Structure 1
Amino acid sequence: MRVLVSSAGTRGDVQPVLALAVQVRGLGHEVRLCVPPNFLDWVGGHGFDAVPMGVPMRAPRPGAAPVPVPDLITDQFDTLDTAVKGCDVVLGANAHQYAARSIAEREGVPYVNALYAPVALPSPEHAPPPAPGQAWEPGSRAGNERRWSDTRAAWNARALERVNHNRARLGLAGIDDVLRHNLTDRPWLAADATLGPAPATPGMDVTQTGAWLLPDPDPLPPPLQAFLDGGDPPVYVGFGSMPMPPDTGRILIDAARAAGRRVVLSQGWAELGPVDDGADCIAVGDVNQQALFPRVAVAVHHGGAGTTVAAARAGVPQVVVPIFSDQFYWAARVATLGIGTSVPPGVLSTGTLAAALHEALLPAVEERAGATAWEVSTDGAAVAARLLVAAAG
């Protein structure tokens, strides 16, 4: 059997499907992945057939000329139309899979859409993820339903014409609801049930598999290992692929120092760096969070689904500084579970972050974070792999 997996987005979108691919291969089947071009080497390095789709997902360089963005919807149709040959089942990861279901429909093979956060599922229990620059606010049931209706209208305004144009090229009938079409009536939720339980989804049959986690055997770099061994557990601060203001590094380091802690500063796409040559701070690039997080006192991060579950598995308290989309949901869940707190991005300062660190370091929070670690499932990718093989018949 051969599986086609389509993923669009940053590393946080691609890494879970790579974890799934590893498990499917372990069951004796082939996997072909369509991913943004800058992840080809990484995916190929794990031994998978990788096809470029879309544009590179990376931080723009200061002063670089704008890169022309093609019609990414049509690009998905064109790429998957070729990649699907010989495949027996198609899986698309996240809601922005405009072509995968149509390609599977044309080929007459099963299709599965998988989501990484409960807030991506239309539900009266929560508002939809906010647009960039907007915060996520809980609402009433009626208010949430109204906001989901507005969200569906926005998706249609943005994409319906192009999706139907490309479906017509395939000889398929038009659709009238892009979001619902992309999600399907039977989506999978690739999120841990303790951290992100599935909400009520009228008209949908949701299968929650657990989070798709990719084991990382890489050791920590020797300088980082020496830093960790040289004192008390530090504070980890990092925002992954999120853009951050230039003064963010100063705020993060000063806040950790105010809390009496050393700092491991993850540079990320914002290219954060030390503000002085103090021995209490070390800057790192991409490192193995599975090895690092058990060694830190607190993890300060943006609230990506992968980072949130990695910190929860390590039993480390969290301070979430959400920037957009599902990050606000994960910040709320961290607070609800009592395993940390959050700082809204608009009020991030040395003072607010230092106060959040003091709260996260309370014994009750540390105890709850440690207990929650035992509740987090680690076999979500294996569960999903078995279901995917079964779906292919």
Structure 2
Amino acid sequence: MRVLLSTYGTRGDIEPLVALAEQLRALGAGVRMCAPPDDEFGHRLAGAGIELVPVGPPVRALMRGTTPPSAAELSRYRTELVDAQFDVFPAAADGCDALVVAGLAQIGARSVAEAAGIRYVYTSYAAVNLPSPHHAPPPRPGWPEPAAHDNRTLWELDARNVNAQFGEILNARRAAIGLSPVDDVRDHVHTGRPWLAADPVLGPWRETPGLDVVQTGAWTQVDERPLPAELVTFLDAGTPPVYVGFGSIGTSPDVVRAAVEAIRAQGHRVLVSRGWADLALVDDRDDCFALGEVNHQRLFREVAAVVHHGGAGTTVTAAGAGVPQVVVALPVSDNPYWGSRVADLEVGAALDGPAATFESLSAALETALAPETRARATALGAEIRTDGASVAAGLLLDSLR
């Protein structure tokens, strides 16, 4: 059997599919992956022995700077990505028995699977991305902010926005390959039985009529890489530091400076992860250390707290390490949702990213660094599952046999 995987996004979107690919291959299936053509993704997949089929423009260029692309730019990128999927996916799916996609950006995938007569599975990394009266839709950059407050109404407006963006181009491309039009693009992409690749304790799904969600657990894999020698030396030189990193999200240098000052005021040393924004140290004091790509599973076990943007991968890694978190969430995708989960579970605090200040960060850190928060984070770490990718691989291959 052969499976085609597909996503379009940052490393947080790629890594779960790499974990799934590893489990599929362990069960004897062949795997290839459609992903953005960024060099780092190409190197990552090549190192894992996964064939890359590049689709769309490089993602890193879209994430440049501290401000997101304009609404017009995002609309153009989204339209071009649908065309790219219909152009690339048919050949990529040739010889495959299933197509597993992650993220709403996979607008053309189900149509290609339908035309090829192969199994299609839609996956979300966070419950907030799936329609439910229990929560509002996540922020959609470039689309108008709805004026309603009722969750059901908000999801109806969200469906209209998705249709307005993708309906015409999707149905034109479907007609060109002999498929009938769809009325609701979002629900067409999701299907009535989507998978949720999120930990059931950290990010549970609440039953919703009309949607039969299969929650597998988060798709992760064990990282055995050692920490760099210079980092180990810094860690050994004093008490556990606080980690600050925003991954692929561009953030204001003022937020980083405020975080460093707030951490120092709490009497802790600081680790600053450069990330895609290439964050730098705010000064040359020896209580700060700047780091690049490292093993977060191992590092987070050595720190006092993790300050981050609220990405699904960082949140579950910190939770699994049993470390308190401070989520400084920008209004993008599922980041505010993961911040709310950290706060609801009382394993840290959540802030509105653009409004974060020294004062608000100090209060959040005081909460996160309290002994009782650490105790709750440690207890949560013991409950985080690590078999999500294995569960998903088994479900998929069983359904194909």
Equivalent residue number for residue 365 of structure 1: 373
| Alignment-mate amino acid for residue 302 of structure 1 | H
Aligned positions of 1:279-358 closer than 5 A:
279-323=286-330, 324-358=332-366
Aligned CA distance change for structure 1 residues 133 and 230 (closer, same or farther; 3 Å): farther
Asked if 1:121 corresponds to 2:130, the answer is yes
Distance 1:134 1:264 in 2: 35
Shift of 1:170: 1.5
Asked if 1:392 corresponds to 2:400, the answer is yes
CA deviation profile, 1:201-237 (whole Å, cap 9, x unmatched):
2211110000000222211111111111111000000
Q: SS of 1:92's equivalent?
A: strand
**Do the aligned residues in 2 keep the contact of 1:319 with 1:341 (CA within 8 Å)?**
yes
Asked if 1:29 corresponds to 2:38, the answer is no
Distance 1:58 1:10 in 2: 8
Aligned CA distance change for structure 1 residues 238 and 208 (closer, same or farther; 3 Å): same
**Do the aligned residues in 1 keep the contact of 2:64 with 2:277 (CA within 8 Å)?**
no
Equivalent residue number for residue 213 of structure 1: 220
Equivalent residue number for residue 11 of structure 1: 11
Equivalent residue number for residue 46 of structure 2: 44
Distance 1:135 1:103 in 2: 30
Q: SS of 1:71's equivalent?
A: helix
Equivalent residue number for residue 86 of structure 2: 77
In the alignment of these two chains, the number of paired residues is 388
Aligned CA distance change for structure 1 residues 384 and 136 (closer, same or farther; 3 Å): farther
Equivalent residue number for residue 104 of structure 2: 95
| Alignment-mate amino acid for residue 103 of structure 2 | N
Aligned CA distance change for structure 1 residues 313 and 302 (closer, same or farther; 3 Å): same
Q: SS of 1:90's equivalent?
A: strand
Q: SS of 1:111's equivalent?
A: strand
Asked if 1:160 corresponds to 2:188, the answer is no
CA deviation profile, 1:5-54 (whole Å, cap 9, x unmatched):
11111110010000000000000110010111111221111111111011
**Structure 2 length as normaliser, TM-score?**
0.93
Shift of 1:133: 8.2
Aligned CA distance change for structure 1 residues 22 and 170 (closer, same or farther; 3 Å): same
Q: SS of 2:211's equivalent?
A: coil
CA deviation profile, 1:130-161 (whole Å, cap 9, x unmatched):
13389999x97xx0000000000000000011
Q: Which runs of 5+ in 2 are unaligned?
A: none
Distance 1:27 1:214 in 2: 15
Q: SS of 2:317's equivalent?
A: helix
Q: Which runs of 5+ in 1 are unaligned?
A: none
Q: SS of 2:376's equivalent?
A: helix
Equivalent residue number for residue 192 of structure 2: 185
Distance 2:207 2:305 in 1: 32
Distance 1:343 1:130 in 2: 16
Distance 2:256 2:343 in 1: 24
CA deviation profile, 1:166-187 (whole Å, cap 9, x unmatched):
1112211110111000101110
Asked if 1:199 corresponds to 2:206, the answer is yes
- Provide the aligned C-alpha RMSD in A: 2.0
Q: Which stretch of the first structure deviates more once superposed, 315-324 or 215-224? A: 215-224
Distance 1:108 1:334 in 2: 41
**Do the aligned residues in 2 keep the contact of 1:320 with 1:331 (CA within 8 Å)?**
yes
Aligned CA distance change for structure 1 residues 115 and 286 (closer, same or farther; 3 Å): same
| Alignment-mate amino acid for residue 136 of structure 2 | A
